[in-house]
Structure 1
Amino acid sequence: MFKNLLTSVAIAAGLATSLTTFALAESHTMAIDKPECIAPAKPGGGFDITCRVAQAGLASMTSRPMQVTFMPGGIGAVAISLFNTTRTDDPNAIVAFSSGSLLNMATGKYGQFAEKDVKFVATAGADFGAIVVNADSEYKTLDDLMSALEADLGSIAIGAGGGVGSQDWMKGALMVKSRNLDPKAMRYVAFDGGGEAIAALLGNSIQAYTGDVGELVSYVGGDKLRILAVMSPERLEAPFDQVPTTKELGYEGAEWVILRGFYMGKNVSDEAYNAWADAFKAAYETEEFAQIQKDKGLLPLNMAGEEFQEDVLLRVERMRVIAKEAGLIE
């Protein structure tokens, strides 16, 4: 009888949790006609991952399935230009961005458009930099790669999504700087997004890739790529728990945290902005969203609405200070 009672309580608790989750989703269903997430690069990179988090994580909270639209060009420049011209008040669309986008804003890479020309609505989670080589590379460890760079910095092509001064360039710059090498002397190859850079690495057009952990989930344990290190302060959870950190390998200061999130046009109505923000806040409370973040290689850094807007503006200002110290801007 006691066992039956426990079973009944467990069923009731499970039902209550399901009903709560369902009610939460229903109460935050957005009145958005055509929900859309803009990934400002070609398929396969970090922006793609960011949009997939929103697409899956808000599936129960949107009026219809969210469309993912790819808009490559200038690592986000085309997208931010569009959302400051013809789609500045579009209530249906969010645009994926990363810390690299914020760095571009801080250093003027988007021309006249900067952090105050959009409205930041929510996060998808946090990511970390990673140092990657081809599976058949002669560089079996990070020390192998760094020793080769110390011997001849210009002999190894390091590629990633974004030009000199981008966040992916910064990852490589931090690595070589940790060995007192000049980042400006790196042989750096720029691609329009992580997907293209990974393809180049697989094709041996470059010898190392300074990418993001979230882009590499499907490659862990495979026979195509080798992750030499992650640029996180501590080891990550599975499936990256066997990958050492740059810090534990002795490369002090070579860490890079990547914020992933979404912005909207600066002239969107408060109603549309709050609808998206509230939907994300509700999604953050669900186990489903946490699982989606984990599956995509992200850690839970959950903020939405005005709190997030203020946080991002502070982040960009800090990046602007760092960029000046690095000589990237005057």
Structure 2
Amino acid sequence: MRPLTRHGTSRGAARAVAVVAALSATLLLATGCGVTRGPQSSDLTMLIPNSPGGGYDQTGRAAIAVMENDDITGGSFEVTNVIGAGGSVAMTRLMNAEGDDRTMMTAGLGVVGSLYSFGAPYKLDDATPLAQLIEDQEGVLVPPDSPFETIEDLVEAWQADPGSIVVGGGSSPGGPDHLFPMQLASAVDIDARNVRYVPYDGGGPLTSALLGSKIDVGFSGVGEFTGQLASGELRLLAVSGEERLKGEGISQAPTLTESGIDLVFTNWRGVLAPPGISDERRAELIGMLEEMHETPEWRQALEDNGWIDEFKTGDEFTAFLQEQDERVATTLEELDLL
């Protein structure tokens, strides 16, 4: 595990590491060590770095459902949601499970950002990268009674007085729900350093903040809010990808480029294993995910959730993680957050 000098050695960073370690220890005591597995067991554990119903949870459970239904692993999964510090607590737990070749964890851009925000001494590729599973579009969300009827309404008000608009997202600084509004602000000639961003730990708390008028606009993965959008509990002003998405309460939302904003932004999610597992076992776990990826059930999950099929494994995925780390670091430096 290499030192991450970009996170610095300030007392603030040291305190953040201590907080993550303490939270991780508490969770370990509260939840135990997972499944009791004998030496010949094929059962696996999947760690999810946010609350039930969030993007990591949806992706992980969809993959698990396919692998269990098609008997790809020869066993079953225990799913453990490890909540706290935007994914850093889960990442700490994964790193502490060195050599455990029956544990996996979903991860993505949000965890990259949380590791910076909380001063963790490792990066995603310090674990064992297995596969990227998907890309996911972000959405611009408002409550039903919002004065912003269109993305143009929001941009006009934001440009007129950036400090008057409070935005929120389900990730720590450096995560997708933070990076997206910062890049959107820059795309419409607003100084991103003037954006008032409030982080929440996943889609549930973000929805509560929107409906409780604690924030004006939310930025997060569209797939996390299909129910609220279909029921009219939330409204979708725009999506961040190259094409519109399907679904009730979703399909009418334009892309940013349709609205004259020169920005395309996507999030991603993948799977890691702990550090220190054998090359042979890494290949076996990758093979399971490759088999899962080729099934009709997985293709249906992609369609149902509006996910983009962006699958890569092994060394290609490792290189991608390193690029994503640099993507986050560069943005945080530009915002004077590093």
- Structures share fold, TM-score greater than 0.5: yes
Q: Among the aligned pairs, what percent are the same residue?
A: 29
The 3 A distance-change label for structure 1 pair 304 and 32 is farther
Other-structure match for 1:90:
100
Other-structure match for 2:181:
172
* Residue 75 (structure 1) aligned with residue 49 (structure 2): no
Deviation at 1:301, TM superposition (A): 0.8
Listed one character per residue, the Cα deviations across residues 209-232 of structure 1 (whole Å, up to 9, x for unaligned) are 000122123334321111100011
* Residue 248 (structure 1) aligned with residue 258 (structure 2): yes
Other-structure match for 2:190:
181
Tell me, in whole angstroms, the C-alpha distance in 2 between the residues paired with 1:164 and 1:311: 20
Tell me, in whole angstroms, the C-alpha distance in 2 between the residues paired with 1:67 and 1:136: 41
Tell me, in whole angstroms, the C-alpha distance in 2 between the residues paired with 1:251 and 1:257: 15
Task: Classify the secondary structure of the residue corresponding to 1:44.
Answer: coil
* Residue 281 (structure 1) aligned with residue 290 (structure 2): yes
Range that drifts further, 232-241 or 153-162: 232-241
Task: Classify the secondary structure of the residue corresponding to 2:237.
Answer: strand
Other-structure match for 1:64:
75
Question: Which runs of 5 or more structure 1 residues have no equivalent in the other structure?
Answer: 1-30
Other-structure match for 1:54:
63
Task: Classify the secondary structure of the residue corresponding to 2:106.
Answer: strand
* Residue 123 (structure 1) aligned with residue 132 (structure 2): yes
Indicate conservation of the 8 Å contact 1:215/1:297, yes or no: no
Listed one character per residue, the Cα deviations across residues 111-167 of structure 1 (whole Å, up to 9, x for unaligned) are 211133211111221101110001222211111122222232222221112233432
TM-score using structure 2 length: 0.80
Which letter does structure 2 place at the counterpart of 1:72? I
Indicate conservation of the 8 Å contact 1:32/1:62, yes or no: no
Within 5 Å, which residues of 2 pair with 1:139-218?
A: 139-218=148-227
* Residue 133 (structure 1) aligned with residue 133 (structure 2): no
Which has the larger Rg? 1
Deviation at 1:271, TM superposition (A): 3.1
Which letter does structure 1 place at the counterpart of 2:262? E
Indicate conservation of the 8 Å contact 2:245/2:306, yes or no: no
Indicate conservation of the 8 Å contact 1:83/1:264, yes or no: yes
Tell me, in whole angstroms, the C-alpha distance in 1 between the residues paired with 2:152 and 2:292: 41
Tell me, in whole angstroms, the C-alpha distance in 2 between the residues paired with 1:124 and 1:33: 22
Listed one character per residue, the Cα deviations across residues 187-213 of structure 1 (whole Å, up to 9, x for unaligned) are 221111222112221333222100012
The 3 A distance-change label for structure 1 pair 244 and 326 is same
Within 5 Å, which residues of 2 pair with 1:11-22?
A: none
Task: Classify the secondary structure of the residue corresponding to 1:84.
Answer: helix
Indicate conservation of the 8 Å contact 1:80/1:113, yes or no: no
Tell me, in whole angstroms, the C-alpha distance in 2 between the residues paired with 1:32 and 1:272: 14
Tell me, in whole angstroms, the C-alpha distance in 2 between the residues paired with 1:301 and 1:133: 28
Indicate conservation of the 8 Å contact 1:53/1:296, yes or no: no
Question: Which runs of 5 or more structure 2 residues have no equivalent in the other structure?
Answer: 1-39
Deviation at 1:263, TM superposition (A): 0.8
Task: Classify the secondary structure of the residue corresponding to 1:228.
Answer: strand
